[in-house]
Structure 1
Amino acid sequence: MKKLLGLLLLVSILALAACSSEESGTEGGSSKAAETDAVPKDLAFGSATVGGFWYTLSAGMADKMAPIYPDSSVTIVEGGSVSNLLGLGQGTFALGFANGQTVPEALNGLNEFEEKIENVSTVATLYPNVFHMVVREDSDIQSLEDLKGKKVSPGIAGYSGELAFKDMLSAVDMSYDDLGGVEYIGTADGADLLRDGHIDAIVGMVAAPLSTFQELDTTMGIRLLPLEDEVVTALNEKNEGYLPYTIKGGTYSNITEDINTVAGYTVLLVNDDLMGEEAVYDLTKMLFENQEHWKTLSSTMNDFSPEYSVENNVGNLHPGAERYYKEVGAME
């Protein structure tokens, strides 16, 4: 597995998009299904920035994919929910992660998606991606409204966590204009800025617990800001993908109280033009044959199973995934 960064990564991915289109016999946004055993030689995996669980999980999945796709190599790309869906739709990515609330927007061509994305399908629904608002333990910030005049990192511009944060500010009649500054940066770097006092809060939709925040909790001390019930309700009315969620006390060792927030489910998707039915069946089977391994990466994967994935399905299931779920009795 090669992880290419910077300019080299960009050049490789552009070349990959062209090669993948040629191999699959498609052009542009075509929705022609791939041959049943089709697998690109270069598998671009749309993930997220270093420090988030998506990156850790995609690296683990890439290692397990090597035996089932021996003639292919995986390149993990630091993406995000919106950019991953756009990349999947364009054929730049063969597979990738997305947050549940962005999938129906992509399928219907809403908000950040100018056109409907019709050539992507769901392989599995993995775990709840939980909205966190993190401040230092000694901070005077107690609520979403208290972020007025404060410097905040909402993650990378255009990622689903940042878009969710904008929705939350809107729910309390606030916007970025009310903040003291916005720092667009990845989770790990944002943690460094919070530790050094250069920002006042980190917000984003991530796994719970997230190792980056666990480290801050034990070394510096943090608090999580709750969302008021009316904000949760407003978000759900705006997008059904925002679901009420409680971060249980003890999820982070020094935070004993329950924290009310929202979550969307992390979804693994594939490009239908690049990944055939047999290939996706093998991918789905691999995911669940290794479900105990994913739990060792994070307890957020503890509930992951075929039945859980089907019950919480987001988007249209790929025929290869559907065949596996029926085979193991998770769906009729």
Structure 2
Amino acid sequence: MKKISLLLAAILLMFAVLVGCSETDPSEESSGGSSGSEGDEESVEVDTNVEAADVEAPTEFTFGAATVGGFWYTLAGAMSDTMNELFPGSSTTVVEGGSVSNLLGLGEGTFHIGFSNGQTVPEALEGKNAFEEPIDNVSTLATLYPNVFHIAVRADSDIHTVEDLKGKIVSPGIKGYSGELAFKEILELNDMSYDDLEGIEYIGTADAAQLLRDGHIDAITGMLAAPVSTYQELDTTLGIRLIPLKDETVEQLHAANEGYLPYTIEGGTYENIKEDTNTVAGYTVLLANNDLINEDVAYEITKMVVENKDAWANISSVMSDFNAEFSVENNVGNMHPGAERYYKEIGALE
């Protein structure tokens, strides 16, 4: 049994909040879409339990995460420390990255493993959008938790549908992040574009919340873990509503990109929002480079991630639903043969 101290990560998170860096807001893609643990300033101790694996592993692993202070970076740090015990004689280096850059790094062999968003994986496999060429040497080890598409407005707003955003000022998050890209696709599927809006504010979730509170914008959108603490605070102090997506919009998003999966934000997720909200989610995934991570090593990493699920949930409640069955059910793209062997061995995959 091992005690991993994450005090440094918590201090860095506190510093990021104090200096007002919205780019490292834990609810943003750059931070991996964190949860209600946003802003935690206390030391977190994580219990992990592994035995040294009798396999030939790389002497050095490189782990693509996201910006310091966010959940992806903190989770990668905890996992990498555990990997160092799983593979004695090996070391793991966590590198700042992001959903797209991690996939590019994995494809190029710069990273051995890394996090990305599920809706970005099909684009990489097909060579679309940010990917000039298909990336065919990357596969999934585990699917961890959902980043859910939210549209939030003030409770007294006259906005009730996506179409009602016409003539309104909206913050879609940081330009080029997954939430903004999803919002543009959703507008297009509803015969709209940014030209139909009065204005766009490219800012982080915390700053957007303040603008919504002050009446300077009409709506916030983003791919966020549910619940996200910024919205919880708005729900209790300002009063907000969530705008649902039409069934056909959800179906069209999934048809165009299998990484967008139907999702319901259940009533009560935010205390004063009692009704269910129909939307989509893209799931955070742990990926591996097939050329650098062989079947035996992938098997051991997948086993480590699944069998220490309670340790990761102790870092953030966003991981509370994660287990082997969850990972298999929400898998997007190709599964690594080593991961597949592990899931079959424990009965999570037929």
* Interval containing the TM-score (normalised by the shorter chain): 0.7 to 0.9
Higher RCO (CA 8 Å, separation ≥ 6 residues): 1
Deviations 1:285-308 (Å, cap 9, x if unpaired)?
221122123334454433321122
Change over 3 Å in CA distance of 1:191–1:271 after alignment to 2:
farther
Cα distance in 2 for partners of 1:49, 1:194 equals 27
Measured against aligned partners, the alpha-carbon deviations of 1:11-66 in whole angstroms (never above 9, x if no partner) come to xxxxxxxxxxxxxxxxxxxxxxxx9511535x342336866x54564455455445
SS in 2 for 1:166: helix
Alignment of 1:112-261 (within 5 A): 112-261=130-279
Q: CA distance change for structure 1 residues 238 and 321 in 2, over 3 Å: closer, same or farther?
A: closer
Aligned pair count reads 301
> What secondary structure sits across from 1:155 in the alignment?
coil
After superposition, the C-alpha distances for 1:77-115 in whole angstroms (9 at most, x for unaligned) are: 252x33332232233443332232321221121233221
**Which whole-Å deviations, capped at 9, do the CAs of 1:243-287 have from their partners, x for residues lacking one?**
322111001111111111122332211223444444433321221
- Residues 65 and 73, structure 2, Cα contact 8 Å, conserved in 1: no
Matches within 5 A, 1:34-73: 36-38=56-58, 40=60, 43-47=62-66, 54=72, 57-58=75-76, 60-62=78-80, 64-68=82-86, 71-73=90-92
Assess if the C-alpha contact under 8 Å between 1:143 and 1:226 holds in 2: yes
Q: Is the 8 A contact 2:65 2:72 kept in 1?
A: no
SS in 1 for 2:86: coil
Query: TM-score, normalized by length of structure 1?
Result: 0.77
Check conservation: 2:81, 2:92, Cα contact below 8 A: no
Which residue number in structure 2 is paired with residue 109 of structure 1?
Answer: 127
**Structure 2 counterparts to residues 15-94 of structure 1, below 5 A:** 36-38=56-58, 40=60, 43-47=62-66, 54=72, 57-58=75-76, 60-62=78-80, 64-68=82-86, 71-79=90-98, 81-94=99-112
Work out whether residues 50 and 78 of structure 1, in 8 Å CA contact, stay in contact via their aligned partners in 2.
no
User: CA contact under 8 A between 1:294 and 1:301: conserved in structure 2?
Assistant: yes
* Identical aligned residues as a percent: 65
Superposed displacement of residue 117, structure 1: 0.4
Tell me how large the CA RMSD over aligned residues is.
Answer: 3.1
Unaligned runs of 5+ residues in structure 1 are: 7-34
- Structure 2 unmatched runs, 5+: 1-5, 22-54
Q: In the aligned structure 1, how far is the partner of 2:136 from the partner of 2:305?
A: 24
Specify whether residues 262 and 229 from structure 1 end up closer, same or farther in structure 2 by C-alpha distance, changes over 3 A only. same
Tell me the SS of whatever aligns to 2:172.
strand
C-alpha distance in structure 1 between counterparts of 2:206 and 2:73, whole Å: 11
